[in-house]
């Protein structure tokens, strides 16, 4: 243990879903309040805060959404910075918090993600989402975000064969896990046929392959290792937070391959001094089921073309060799875009502390979260990999 260690002291999450009548300040404040209480910290102990958020400014709410949320819990008079990076915004906020402690600038920093997506006019909601692609050709010419996943799925199945049933099984698994998550947006009991017979969205992606648009917030308090150890009996150490973007200039990218994940996870494994076989619990960005399947391969849990076998043999089930998305994932927990990354961190912290209730994975010590955002020419805008452990 060195003094450069960083740990998560406590986390908090609001309910995810259609939080009708609730402002971002209300459910955002609730997540931060929970995180501060779980950390045994007074609000004046937070030295800096980073907030992941995508849509607030476009919705004419406020560009200082972080300050507005944190005012509700008396966290004021400190540097507060909004971080926007599509659906990976709050992992990028978490990464900034991590770096400011790693560099010895701060001892206690808050990372927050907050997003209001329902109850706003449809054209505004669609504008929020189409902003995650190229605004010169792709967005104006009709590309949809589920279309990006549809295109990846077709490229994948052209190369490796039909995986529609395994994709449906991923949705079934994540909804089953989400039934045990009280914060989840969609509490649905679905089977494979329900998924395969649901309405087509972007061939072959069907409605039940796709995540919902949600409201919600998630917060994490990070601290220097020795500070965290004073505050908590169970600090969860941050062993790596890595992020990168796509190459875009190469025209030979293969859409069946998560090359961006491969680069980011390789850096993260090296930073943490572990490999994919050491993981006990994983959260991935399953905005669509094909995303989850391809992240298995991008993270090295399976080799190219073999991701579906992890579904077939039960490895990724809650009681399997390497459980993926015990929270229910974006599929069931929901996807308030700017809050998803920190919600993944919340789940890992609860899992690593044995606090995940009926969705608890058996005795995990090392967890990984992968979060994606946006796309250009069909290649990921950002992918992040966070590794947490109780060491």
Partner 1 sequence: MSRVHPEYDESRRLVDGSIRTADDGDPVLVGTECAECGFVVFPTRPFCRNCLSENVDDIDLSRNGELRTYTVAHTGQEGFEPPYAFGFVDLPEGVRLYSLLKGWESGTLEVGAPVELTLDEIKPDPKTGEPLFGHVFRLVEGDDD
Binding residues for partner 1, rule: CB under 8 A, are: 123, 126, 130, 134, 136-138, 140-144, 146-147, 150-155, 158-159, 199-203, 205, 249, 251, 253, 255, 377-378
Helix 289-298 and helix 259-272, axial crossing angle in degrees, nearest 10: 50
Q: Does 304 qualify as catalytic in the annotation?
A: no
Q: Tokens at residue 53, please?
A: 């958020």
Beta strands in 100-244 (DSSP E): 108-115, 200-202, 205-206, 216-224, 236-244
Residue 12, token pair as written in the block: 């908090």
Instruction: State both tokens at 222.
Output: 């990070």
Active site residue 335: yes
Per the structure block, which two tokens stand in for 354?
Answer: 């044995």
Rounded Cα gap, residues 256 and 133, in angstroms: 19
Q: For residues 327 and 184, is the Cβ–Cβ distance under 8 A?
A: yes
Residues 6+ apart with CB under 8 A from 191: 172
| Smallest separation (angstroms) from partner 1 to the CB of 326 | 30
Are 34 and 13 in contact, with CB atoms under 8 Å apart?
yes
Pairing relationship of beta strands 205-206 and 200-202 according to DSSP bridges: antiparallel
How far, CA to CA in Å, does 340 sit from each of 52, 76, 229, 235, 302?
9, 24, 27, 22, 24
Active site residues: 87, 335
């Amino acid at each position: 243990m060195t003094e450069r260690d960083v740990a998560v002291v406590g986390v908090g999450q609001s309910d995810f879903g259609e939080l009708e009548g609730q402002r971002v300040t209300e459910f955002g404040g609730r997540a931060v309040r929970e995180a501060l209480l779980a950390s045994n910290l007074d609000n004046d102990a937070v030295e800096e805060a980073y907030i992941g958020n995508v849509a607030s400014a476009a919705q004419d709410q406020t560009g200082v959404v972080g300050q507005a949320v944190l005012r509700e819990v008396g966290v004021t008079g400190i540097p507060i910075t909004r971080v926007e990076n599509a659906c990976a915004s709050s992992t990028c906020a978490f990464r900034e918090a991590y770096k400011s402690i790693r560099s010895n600038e701060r001892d206690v920093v808050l990372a927050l993600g907050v997003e209001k997506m329902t109850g706003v006019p449809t054209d505004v909601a669609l504008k929020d989402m189409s902003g995650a692609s190229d605004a010169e050709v792709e967005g104006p010419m009709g590309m949809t975000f589920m279309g990006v996943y549809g295109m990846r799925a077709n490229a994948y199945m052209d190369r490796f064969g039909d995986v529609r049933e395994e994709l449906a099984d991923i949705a079934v698994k994540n909804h089953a896990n989400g039934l045990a998550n009280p914060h989840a947006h969609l509490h649905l009991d679905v089977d494979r046929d329900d998924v395969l017979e649901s309405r087509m969205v972007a061939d072959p992606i069907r409605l039940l392959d796709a995540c919902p648009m949600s409201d919600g917030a998630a917060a994490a308090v990070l601290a220097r290792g020795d500070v965290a150890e004073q505050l908590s009996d169970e600090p969860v150490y941050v062993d790596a937070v890595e992020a990168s973007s796509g190459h875009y200039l190469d025209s030979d990218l293969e859409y069946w391959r998560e090359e961006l994940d491969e680069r980011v996870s390789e850096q993260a494994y090296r930073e943490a001094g572990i490999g994919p076989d050491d993981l006990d619990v994983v959260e991935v960005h399953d905005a669509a089921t094909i995303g989850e399947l391809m992240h298995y391969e991008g993270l090295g849990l399976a080799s190219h073309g073999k991701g579906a076998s992890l579904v077939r043999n039960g490895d990724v089930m809650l009681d399997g060799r390497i459980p993926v998305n015990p929270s229910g994932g974006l599929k069931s927990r929901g996807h308030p875009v700017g809050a998803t990354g920190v919600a993944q961190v919340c789940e890992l912290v609860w899992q690593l502390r044995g606090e995940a209730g009926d969705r608890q994975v058996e005795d995990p010590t090392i967890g990984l979260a992968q979060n994606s955002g946006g796309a250009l020419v069909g290649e990921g805008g950002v992918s992040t990999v966070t590794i947490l452990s109780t060491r």
